[in-house]
Amino acid sequence: MNDGTGGGQSVCMGIGCSKVFDGQASHCPHCGAKAITRDSLRRRGWFLVACGILLLGLMAWVLAYLVPPMLAGGEEVEGSRFTGTQEDVQMIMGVLGAVVVFGLASLASGLIQAIQGVRPRAIIVVMLVLAAGLFAFGMAVRRGLLG
């Protein structure tokens, strides 16, 4: 381990490559894609972490505001009344769920990027699968209720 500065290494930004190599080349010697230094990759990582926290915080706030009136089924809760249908609820929850997944992905991949100085390919795949699963689950719920 070095002192954590990256030691003048660069990281390939090419999808499917993501190799770490010595020196500060602007392009990857393996695949020719754009490359950035490990330091700037780490900075981007912290930026992703900040974005993820912001998104999740926003969603927590929105959910705290939206869910009580929705669960109350049209009853007035603290001055606000939810007048949408069950379909509206599903759509809203689907969108919020997608944003939460996106926030988690941003947070998790940002942390890996910031701390390890590598591009987190595995977590991106995991998050894509999660998002696809969430979508499939939403469609299944929808079909179940409608048909």
Judged by CB under 5 A, does residue 31 bind Zn ion?
yes
Query: Could you tell me which stretch among 27-35, 45-53, 86-94, 120-128 binds Zn ion (CB under 5 A)?
Result: 27-35
| Structure-block tokens of residue 14 | 């090419």
Query: Could you tell me which stretch among 11-19, 40-48, 57-65, 130-138 binds Zn ion (CB under 5 A)?
Result: 11-19
Judged by CB under 5 A, does residue 14 bind Zn ion?
yes
Long-range contacts made by residues 84-92, C-beta under 8 angstroms, separation at least 24? 86/145, 87/142, 90/138, 90/141, 90/142, 90/145, 92/66
Q: Is the dihedral of CA 137, 141, 142, 143 positive or negative?
A: positive
Q: Which of 12, 55, 108, 127 binds Zn ion (CB under 5 A)?
A: 12
Judged by CB under 5 A, does residue 94 bind Zn ion?
no
- Tell me, by CB under 5 A, how many residues bind Zn ion: 7
Query: Could you tell me which stretch among 17-25, 44-52, 78-86, 117-125 binds Zn ion (CB under 5 A)?
Result: 17-25
Judged by CB under 5 A, does residue 111 bind Zn ion?
no
Strand partners, 27: 34
> How distant, in Å, are the alpha carbons of 30, 39, 98 from that of 113?
20, 10, 22
Nearest to Zn ion of 14, 138 (CB atom): 14
147 by DSSP, 3-state: which?
A: coil
Q: Which of 22, 30, 34, 133 binds Zn ion (CB under 5 A)?
A: 30
Please give the helix or strand (H or E) that residue 35 lies within, else none. Answer: strand 35-37
Nearest to Zn ion of 25, 33 (CB atom): 33
Site for Zn ion, rule CB under 5 A: 12, 14, 17, 28, 30-31, 33
